[in-house]
Amino acid sequence: MDKLLVRGGKKLSGEVIISGSKNASLPIIISSILFNNDLELGNVPKVKDVYTLINLLKLLGKNSVFEQDNSNLKIFNIKNNKYLAPYSIMKTMRAGVLVLGPLLAKYGKAKVSLPGGCAIGARPINLHLYALKKLGAILSIKDGYVEAKVKNGLIGNKIRFKKISVGATECAIMSATLAKGKTIITNAAIEPEIIDLIEFLNSCGAKISWGKNRKIIIRGVRTLKPVKYNVIPDRIEAGTYAVAALITDGKLLIKKVNIAHLDSTFNVLKDMGAKIKIFTDSFLISRNKKLRPTKIKTKVYPGFATDMQAQIMTLACLTDGTSVIKEDIFENRFLHISELLRMGANIEIKKQKAIVKGVKNFNSAEVMATDLRASVSLVLAGLSTKGITTINRLYHLDRGYEKIEKKLKLCGADIQRING
């Protein structure tokens, strides 16, 4: 298996161009199931999760190819529609479960394996199933698969989620787009990636409105007509490279971002000692001489993103003082802590809180990634050491970060992928 060798101690400087959002691309690509015609998407990141989804869609009757040397993804309807999403693919990517709603909306039936993905918590799909039942689906779970059918098409209804869920909101939106009548979703997630899905579907003829009160109204349409659409930039990737600049005491110009999506990350980084100069679609980041500790709690958007928690914790390890980081989204998202401890961190876990006492520096070590964001936190820690950090199990890193070695090398990092 591949490994990363990170020879740290180098201040990063230069420019980083941010890729399209993985978390926005996946549901938009999945929504291609709703279309009769071919579709073209721009700014799609070439990451493992996208390629896994391409393989899944091929089994469901859609061929997908990237244009050479760019991020345009073309999706073709090969008119060989099938309705089975097998465990062999679903075990590696949780977002694959989102095909359930579009398959049901388009063809009236689906059989989808229960999902896999990162080991960061239970993340049950009960809210997905609740939404589909409200729209008239008949569901059963057998042998690790969800089997769904509907007799005369999905029917619009009122859906109120007991808990805010990104995946369930995306499922409900896609399912209701072709349903008969009006669907009202309340207590919906409103992450930028969800708004991007809505804007994409609306550009293709859907009738979806939303407000800041977490209400989404969908008036079902019969068909969708595809248009070329560019996916939003990846706000988590942008935040990750911002931390890379600070943890190496470097200076980076981070380009092709949506500044409005980075408010909560900027607030935390400024509090920790970052100097940020904001431009139209880019920002310049460096730090003051000393990093300061922080106190944060992960929340649903527009609160602080759980996907930035591991990166901020890694930065907090090098501050002068004690930070408190509370994880309120997933119950098992501190798996990176054991690996950071191997590198000399001083972290104590109290239920869903991490008490991080700053140390002077990390020590180089051999470590292992446990999930997507944990893997990049180890890269960040390795960048700040003076020795060689070896990172194993790069599968998770490749799921969400496009060309991370190349981007870091262009900024002066000494990082190398080897076959282990």
* Type of residue found at 180: K
State the catalytic residues: 118
Cα dihedral value 98, 102, 108, 114, nearest 10: -10
Strand partners, 42: 230
**Rounded to an integer, what distance in angstroms lies between the CA atom of residue 238 and that of residue 259?**
10
Q: What is the pLDDT of residues 395-413, one digit of tens each?
A: 889 999 999 999 999 999 9
Question: CATH class for domain 2-19+233-419?
Answer: alpha beta
Q: What is the pLDDT of residues 41-95, one digit of tens each?
A: 999 999 999 999 999 999 999 999 999 889 999 999 887 778 999 989 888 787 8
Q: What is the pLDDT of residue 351?
A: 84
Q: What is the pLDDT of residue 420?
A: 64
Structure-token match 């015609």, residue found: 37
Degrees to nearest 5, angle at CA 232 with 275 and 170:
120
* Type of residue found at 173: I
Q: What is the pLDDT of residue 331?
A: 67
For 384-397, the DSSP string reads HSSSEEEEE-THHH
CA torsion sign for 27, 130, 178, 33 is: positive
List phi, psi (to 5°) of 111.
Answer: -135, 110
Closest CA to 154 of 203, 222, 62: 222
* Average per-residue pLDDT for the chain: 93
Give the pLDDT band of residue 122 (cuts 50, 70, 90).
Answer: very low
**Ranges for all domains in the chain classified under CATH 3.65.10.10:** 2-19+233-419, 22-230
> Is residue 120's pLDDT more than 70?
no
In this prediction the pTM is 0.96
* Max Cα–Cα distance, the chain, nearest Å: 65
For 321-384, the DSSP string reads SEEEEE--S-TT--THHHHHHHTT-EEEEETTEEEEE--S-----EEE--SHHHHHHHHHHHHH
Q: What is the mean pLDDT of residues 12-30?
A: 98
- The CA-to-CA distance between both ends of the chain, in Å, stands at 5
Q: What is the pLDDT of residues 284-328, one digit of tens each?
A: 999 987 899 999 999 999 999 999 999 999 999 999 999 999 998
CA atoms within 13 A on the CB side of 412: 16
Q: What is the pLDDT of residues 275-286, one digit of tens each?
A: 999 999 999 999
Q: What is the pLDDT of residues 135-158, one digit of tens each?
A: 999 999 898 899 999 989 999 999
315: tokens are 């930065």
Q: What is the pLDDT of residue 184?
A: 98
CA 52 from chain centre, in angstroms, equals: 14
Hey, which CATH number is domain 22-230, 3.30.420.40, 1.10.760.10, 3.65.10.10, 3.40.50.970?
Answer: 3.65.10.10
> Is residue 121's pLDDT more than 50?
no
Closest CA to 90 of 30, 152, 168: 30
**Rounded to an integer, what distance in angstroms lies between the CA atom of residue 96 and that of residue 91?**
9
